[in-house]
């Protein structure tokens, strides 16, 4: 897939929409949250960061790790989250050509219903007699990333997409 849309206007519009959603979610965030630094700096950095993103020279920041008593959480910076969401918007129209139709997790909240319908129909037709549902901790972290990158490169020829997905 080579023809991807990287125009400034749609990305800018999407960034503004995504930022509005983040602001609504974070309106009660504490005074020390990195969110406030992001909100303060975003208007000054937006134009340059968008230009870098479209050129393919944007660099993701290291992820932040927060250790708590019972768990450790690793998160992307707010700026990186915005650009990851933008990248998803750019490549999402091509999912139907890449991802199998029975990958129900991409259907959003209706995915569970679709998956259950699929399983019920298969069960009724006796296509299979058993199924296994598992949730492996750190599954995505344990995937062989080189295989994943090679598969991604076979679908996306745009060097910017390849770079960002590798990053």
pLDDT at 149 over 80: yes
pLDDT of residue 80: 94
Tokens representing residue 115 in the block: 């998956």
High-pLDDT (> 70) share of the chain, %: 92
Residue 152 burial by CB count (10 A; 0-12/13-18/19+): exposed, middle or buried? middle
Q: How far is CA 117 from CA 14, 89, 92, 109, 126, in A?
A: 33, 28, 24, 14, 14
- pLDDT at res. 3: 56
Q: What is the mean pLDDT of the chain?
A: 85
Pairing of strands 72-75, 64-67: antiparallel
Q: Which range (27-31, 36-40, 58-62, 118-122) has the least confidence?
A: 27-31
107 versus 146: the higher-pLDDT residue is 146
- Region 84-101 average pLDDT: 85
């Amino acid at each position: 897939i080579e023809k991807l849309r990287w125009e400034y206007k749609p990305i800018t519009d999407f960034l503004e929409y995504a930022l509005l959603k983040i602001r609504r979610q974070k309106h009660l965030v504490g005074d020390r949250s990195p969110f406030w630094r992001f909100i303060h700096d975003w208007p000054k950095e937006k134009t340059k960061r968008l230009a870098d993103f479209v050129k393919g020279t944007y660099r993701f920041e290291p992820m932040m790790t927060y250790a708590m008593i019972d768990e450790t959480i690793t998160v992307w910076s707010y700026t990186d989250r915005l650009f990851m969401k933008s990248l998803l918007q750019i490549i999402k129209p091509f999912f139907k050509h890449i991802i199998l139709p029975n990958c129900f997790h991409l259907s959003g909240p209706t995915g569970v219903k679709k998956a259950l319908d699929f399983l019920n129909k298969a069960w009724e037709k006796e296509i299979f007699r058993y199924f296994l549902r598992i949730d492996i901790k750190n599954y995505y972290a344990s995937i062989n990333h080189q295989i994943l990158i090679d598969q991604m490169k076979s679908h996306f020829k745009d060097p910017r997409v390849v770079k960002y997905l590798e990053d």
